[in-house]
Copies of this chain bind each other. A is one copy, B any other.
Amino acid sequence: MKKHNFCAGPSILPKEVIIQAAESVLDINGSGFSLLEISHRSKDFIAIMEEARSLVLDLTKLNSQDYSVLFLQGGASTQFLMIAYNLFSKRAAYLDTGVWSNKAIKEAKLFGDIKVVATSKDSNYNHIPDYKIPDDYDYFHCTSNNTIYGTQINNFKDSKIPLICDMSSDIFSRELDFSKFDLIYAGAQKNLGPAGATLVIVKNNILGKVSREIPSMMDYKVHINKSSIYNTPPVFSIYGSLLNMKWLKNNGGIKNLEEMNTKKASLLYSEIDINPLFKGHAKEKDRSKMNVTFNLVNNDFKEIFDSMISNAGVVGINGHRSIGGYRASMYNALPIESVKVLVEVMSELENRI
């Protein structure tokens, strides 16, 4: 039976990326060696790293004079700390849109005064709260997409202070003016590649302004000066990310993927809106195209719906424990056919009842 992978992350990757990644484990570039057993300072790997870094600039339309691209380790959770280490001087401003924002805030608070400019906590983060970016803080931090609640920032405001964005769950899913941002980061395991690498895109001129001594592994400048190979990088995850970015580029780029993502989201949200058995969690204006969160209106149908889903080969749509219900994650690699299968099951449930 064909399976439909709606996992929230690590999540679905394009079939051809998976095949190429498997091939690289057996032999990279016809070298006679596995990708896993070549030096990270070898010609083969340096070419991989450089192509991956330049493809990021290509996809984001950013230039290499102003921005540096890094592939680091430790996930967004480590970035929560690195951001503060590198950029926090006196006080910083954060937007609270859920669990991940909160974790970012928690780590930054170890450094001093954090202002939460707005929060939607009281409504279980079912929308992006109105907010203003202040002028007199070291930086402003936001989370572009909130996997757990299914909300997404659809318009980014201009900012006079460095604009930092956690794009872990929607990087490369839509066209944006990436030059608005001063630092973008993303754990690879949703829209980018295999778990284990963290993409960081940082505007060079925001660095070097804090007075503290920064530990080497926490220091963006250390990694920049070593072309993202200060220490042994997560070789396989970076190569997988490169393959995935190539796939993205060869499939019409971000523009085309965004169109597909919009179609997929419309299909599922339409069903949620017309089917009386279901209700969406996120407010319409802030609905995420990556993670669609919804509930059964009547939980008595849970058992039958879960069994129908399972029979249709749909996996990974249990909601996060903090809000329950269902969450369909529809990253770039998820084919629209999978969404159609899910929508058919939802529609069939209505017919049956």
Contacts and interface: CB of A to CB of B under 8 A. Distances in A.
Interface string A48-83: 000000000000000000000000011111101100
Given A34-B18, A232-B75, A232-B187, A10 B40 contact: yes
B103 A216 contact: yes
Interface stretch (A116-124, A151-159, A174-182, A235-243): A235-243
Q: Which of A18, A73, A110 has the most CB of B within 10 A?
A: A73
B10 A37 contact: yes
A194 interface: yes
Interface residues of A, number: 58
B235 A10 contact: yes
Nearest to A240: B36
A75 B75 contact: no
A218 B85 CA distance: 13
B217 A36 contact: no
A302 interface: no
Given A81-B217, A110-B215, A40 B195 contact: yes
Interface stretch (A20-28, A89-97, A272-280, A341-349): A20-28
Contact of A195 (B19, B106, B110, B235): B235
Interface in A1-30: 3, 5, 7-13, 18-19, 21-23, 25-26
Contact of A234 (B9, B32, B73, B230): B73
Given A39-B9, A189-B232, A232-B187, A77 B216 contact: yes
A129 interface: no
17 contacts: A5-B37, A7-B38, A7-B39, A10-B37, A10-B38, A12-B37, A18-B34, A22-B22, A25-B25, A73-B234, A77-B217, A77-B230, A77-B231, A81-B216, A81-B217, A81-B218, A195-B236
